[in-house]
Amino acid sequence: MSDPTTPKQLPGAPPEKNAVEEALAPVAGFGVTFSSMFRPTVTEQYPFEKVPTQPRYHGRHQLNRYADGLEKCIGCELCAWACPADAILVEAGDNTPEAQYSPGERSGRVYQINYLRCIFCGLCIEACPTRALTMTNEYELTGPTREGLIYEKADLLAPLEPGMLAAPHPMVEGTTDDDYYRGEVGGPTRAQVEWVQERRPEDPTLDGAASPAAAGGPASAAEGVTA
Ligand code: SF4
């Protein structure tokens, strides 16, 4: 029969310590401290020296474009609904033949992200059906005013790369929005360039878009759609 005065070992409880373990227990917590004392000291000299982030770091958002310059955002608001901090505001606008900003019927007319609310969780970019919204590695998001930390569409839109034609302009002839989503548009076509030349002859993006060789873009509808 067991001694009723001996305390019982409860199921799942850690095993009892022996005498040596009992003696070392009060200083065991200093193990990490002592081992760190002999490692080299690393002091980051921010902001004078900026350490690159990890490639998938969640920084400032970016609204992307297709290769012909049309915007990928279709104003569906899924990013705003997915945001747990209610940091995103989207208002869609109708595309028209004279003002086509993205493939299909609608574009993001108003797009705002409030960086005073954003927690950089990335749920918005997961929700985006067109990969319009992604996150860059930019992390220096500060400012002297609250208003300045509400980024508008113009602050978030990806810059036009060489060869892209600034929106608005029509979609590549004979294509649908599905062709755009599938990545089958390789750059602006001659018809798109001519459309912009007629309406905005001063547009600075015409130079690069009009020379497909320099831009890597096509000059005709057939060339504009990749197989
Ligand atoms: S960024 Fe994406 S999810 Fe948000 S409104 Fe535009 S298309 Fe929709």
| Candidate from 61, 76, 113 with most ligand 1 atoms within 8 A of CB, to mutate | 76
Which tens digit of pLDDT belongs to each residue from 49-100?
Answer: 998 999 999 999 999 999 999 999 999 999 999 999 999 999 999 999 999 9
| Integer CA distances (angstroms), 218 to 68, 77, 84, 87, 102, in order | 10, 32, 42, 39, 19
List b or e across 119-146, with b for residues whose CB sees 16 or more CB atoms inside 10 angstroms.
ebeeebbebbebebbebeeeeeeeeeee
d(CA 67, CA 188): 7
Q: Is the CB of 118 under 6 A from ligand 1?
A: no
Domains of the chain: 61-224 (3.30.70.3270)
- Run of H or E including 81: helix 78-82
Q: Is the CB of 76 under 6 A from ligand 1?
A: yes
* Closest ligand 1 atom number to CA of residue 72: 7
Work out the pLDDT band at 2, boundaries 50, 70, 90.
low
Residue 203 has pLDDT above 80, yes or no: yes
Distance 225 CA to ligand 1 centre (A): 24
Residue with CA at minimum distance from ligand 1 atom 3: 128
Residue 210 has pLDDT above 80, yes or no: no
Q: Is the CB of 141 under 6 A from ligand 1?
A: no
111 near 147, Cβ under 8 Å? no
Q: Is the CB of 135 under 6 A from ligand 1?
A: no
* Closest ligand 1 atom number to CA of residue 78: 3
Mean pLDDT throughout 152-164?
Answer: 97
Work out the pLDDT band at 180, boundaries 50, 70, 90.
very high
Residue 37 has pLDDT above 60, yes or no: yes
Residue with CA at minimum distance from ligand 1 atom 6: 73
